[in-house]
Structure 1
Amino acid sequence: MTRAILKRLISMLLSLLAASLAIFVMLQAVPGHPADFMLGLNAQPDTIAALNAELGLEGTLRERYLDWVGGMLRGDFGTSYTYRVPVAGLIADRIWVSAPLAVYALVLTLLVAIPAGLLAASRRGRASDWGVMGVTQLGIAVPNFWFAMLLVLLFAVKLRWVSAGGFPGWSDPAQAIKALTLPAIALALPQASILARVLRGALIDTLEQDYMRTARAKGLSRRATVVRHGLRNAAIPMLTILGLQFSFLLAGAIIIEKVFFLPGLGQLIFQGITQRDLIVVQSVTMLLVFAVIAVTFAVELAYTLADPRLRRA
């Protein structure tokens, strides 16, 4: 087991290295230069050279890549070309929007998916099963940004229960959670639909096992059998799906933050792209990649610990 964990850790580090190189190279290939954007096309060569020296853009690609990676390992993500402040500070300010939003959406996903999956599996072939499958199919098909706009139209414009966007900060936690509720619902809809269908399939397979029939023969009710034994065993394949879903929540939050005008990492990436602030874009993107790979590693580790067959491998 220790050997398997070590192999996964090495694979994670190699993935991070490859991702950092790919992100850096692709962004450097984007047409245009930050100095041209900041100073204009008619700027003098000596002014451009001075700005390049100030921003650390005068070295070769290899030198700049090594400086960037080395800085990240020390916690220094560089200085924003536009804001002229450390990128780490910009990320720290905005991660308190994006991270709670992703966690909130994941909690909503579990709160919806587990009861729906249990209901569909325990009433297989009945009207409630067909109802759950139909609703989840619709939830998968509808794009979350379109669903987000429908939520804004209904709850913000028509009913006026919440504001159409913005974030008041965490000085008032109740208002902050209220501001994140519609974005979290929009993010959770497709993920809850997928997870409910996966849970239903896993539970149906589990309920057909011999040990489940033995539990029923010993006098356990169907409900107790499903909850005590079925859900526990069906949770193993769910772990993999949850890891993937967290990745989708992080990626989807970039679009959803734009719809709801949330000052999160997604908004920061959009601003960096439009302003040619490459150091911001590549640092935030690398941070998101790290989060996805780290969560995937944690899920694989949990999967190994939860499955006795993998622990013995």
Structure 2
Amino acid sequence: MLRYLIRRLISLGLSLLVASALIFSVVALVPGDPASFMLGTGAQPETLAALRAQMGLDQPWPVRYAAWLGGVLTGDLGQSFTYKTPVAGLIADRVQVSLPLALMALLLAVVIAFPAGMYAASRRGRAGDAAVIGATQLGIALPNFWFAMLLVLLFAVNLRLLPAGGFPGWGNPAAALKSLILPAVALALPQAAILARVLRSALIETLGQDYIRTARAKGLTRGQTLRRHGLRNALIPVLTIMGMQFSFLLAGAIIIENVFYLPGLGRLIFQAITQRDLIVVQSAVLVMVAAVILVTFVVDLAYAAVDPRLRAR
């Protein structure tokens, strides 16, 4: 297990290094001059040159990358030229919204998907299975932003049970969690539909194995066999999807954050792109990519815990 962990840690470090180089390269190659955009077309050449020097744009690409990477390694992500505050502080504030939202959405997706997937697998070919498949198809087909607006119309406008948008901060935890319920539900629905279908397929494949028939021959019911023996052996593809879903929920909730006016990471990146605040863009994207890579690392460790045969690879 130790060798497996060391190999994964080396892979993690190399992935982060390559990701940082790619992100910096892509942002650096974006057409247009950020300094000219910030100052406007009527800026004096001296003022423009001074701002370019302040932003480090007058330095060669390798020098700028090395300086940025050195700052990242020491926790200094630079200074935002739009907000006039450290980028690390901006990202830390936004993570306090995006991370709880992603966790709530993933938890809701799992709570919905696991019973639905197990129910469909245990009733393969019956009416219950068809009903679950139909419901999951509908959940995948519905755009989450449209479903979010329906939730706002029902629970915020008509019933007045939940806020329609905004985030009051964690000074009042109850109000903060209440403001995340509707966006979490809007994000969780399509993910629950996907996860339920994957779990159903994995369980159906598992239920055809010899050890399942042996368990049934020993007197276990279909439900007991499914829970005790089938579920664990069907978890590897499910864990893969869950890891991908968490990464998407953390990094890809830009539309939902804008629908509900949530000050999350996705909205920060969107605003920084429109304002050409490149230091914020590259640092926030790197944080998101690092989160995706770390989630993949955790999923790999979960694979090894579920299936010990993987540790020897």
- What range describes the TM-score normalised by the shorter chain of this pair? over 0.9
Alpha-carbon contact 1:55-1:79 (below 8 Å) kept = no
Q: Report the counterpart of residue 150 of structure 2 in structure 1.
A: 150
Q: Which runs of 5+ in 1 are unaligned?
A: none
Following the alignment from structure 1 to structure 2, what is the Cα–Cα distance between the partners of residues 26 and 143?
29
Displacement, 1:220?
2.1
* DSSP 3-state at the match of 1:257: helix
Greater displacement, 214-223 / 162-171: 214-223
The Cα offsets for residues 8-46 of structure 1, whole Å up to 9 and x where unpaired, read as 333332322222222212222223322222222222222
Displacement, 1:3?
4.2
* DSSP 3-state at the match of 2:107: helix
* DSSP 3-state at the match of 2:171: coil
Displacement, 1:63?
1.0
Following the alignment from structure 1 to structure 2, what is the Cα–Cα distance between the partners of residues 239 and 103?
15
User: In the alignment, residue 74 of structure 2 is paired with which amino acid?
Assistant: R
Q: Give the count of matched residue pairs.
A: 313
User: In the alignment, residue 163 of structure 1 is paired with which amino acid?
Assistant: P
Q: How does 1:249-264 map to 2 (within 5 A)?
A: 249-264=249-264
Q: Report the counterpart of residue 310 of structure 2 in structure 1.
A: 310
User: In the alignment, residue 170 of structure 2 is paired with which amino acid?
Assistant: W
Following the alignment from structure 1 to structure 2, what is the Cα–Cα distance between the partners of residues 311 and 166?
45
Q: Which runs of 5+ in 2 are unaligned?
A: none
Greater displacement, 119-128 / 201-210: 201-210
The Cα offsets for residues 101-131 of structure 1, whole Å up to 9 and x where unpaired, read as 0000110011000000111011111111100
Q: CA RMSD in A?
A: 1.6
The Cα offsets for residues 168-217 of structure 1, whole Å up to 9 and x where unpaired, read as 11112111111111111111111111111111111112222222222222
User: In the alignment, residue 160 of structure 1 is paired with which amino acid?
Assistant: R
Are residues 273 and 94 of structure 1, via their aligned partners in 2, closer, same or farther at CA, if it must alter by over 3 Å?
same
Displacement, 1:2?
4.2
Q: Report the counterpart of residue 102 of structure 1 in structure 2.
A: 102
Displacement, 1:261?
0.5
Greater displacement, 5-14 / 180-189: 5-14
Answering whether residue 294 of structure 2 is matched by residue 294 of structure 1, we say yes
Question: Normalized against structure 1, the TM-score is what?
Answer: 0.94
Q: Report the counterpart of residue 279 of structure 1 in structure 2.
A: 279
Q: How does 1:188-267 map to 2 (within 5 A)?
A: 188-267=188-267
* DSSP 3-state at the match of 2:234: helix
Q: Report the counterpart of residue 93 of structure 1 in structure 2.
A: 93
Q: Report the counterpart of residue 117 of structure 2 in structure 1.
A: 117
* DSSP 3-state at the match of 1:165: coil
The Cα offsets for residues 107-162 of structure 1, whole Å up to 9 and x where unpaired, read as 00110000001110111111111000111011112222222222222222333322
Alpha-carbon contact 2:167-2:263 (below 8 Å) kept = yes
Alpha-carbon contact 1:34-1:81 (below 8 Å) kept = no
Following the alignment from structure 1 to structure 2, what is the Cα–Cα distance between the partners of residues 244 and 265?
18
Answering whether residue 62 of structure 2 is matched by residue 62 of structure 1, we say yes
Following the alignment from structure 1 to structure 2, what is the Cα–Cα distance between the partners of residues 103 and 194?
17
* DSSP 3-state at the match of 1:276: coil
Q: Report the counterpart of residue 270 of structure 1 in structure 2.
A: 270
Question: Normalized against structure 2, the TM-score is what?
Answer: 0.94
Alpha-carbon contact 1:258-1:267 (below 8 Å) kept = yes
Alpha-carbon contact 1:187-1:252 (below 8 Å) kept = no
Following the alignment from structure 2 to structure 1, what is the Cα–Cα distance between the partners of residues 311 and 293?
21
Q: Report the counterpart of residue 73 of structure 2 in structure 1.
A: 73
Aligned-pair identity in percent equals 67
Following the alignment from structure 1 to structure 2, what is the Cα–Cα distance between the partners of residues 251 and 187?
12
Greater displacement, 2-11 / 287-296: 2-11
Greater displacement, 92-101 / 198-207: 198-207
Following the alignment from structure 1 to structure 2, what is the Cα–Cα distance between the partners of residues 99 and 311?
30
Following the alignment from structure 1 to structure 2, what is the Cα–Cα distance between the partners of residues 295 and 262?
23
* DSSP 3-state at the match of 1:168: coil
Following the alignment from structure 1 to structure 2, what is the Cα–Cα distance between the partners of residues 152 and 74?
42
User: In the alignment, residue 304 of structure 1 is paired with which amino acid?
Assistant: A
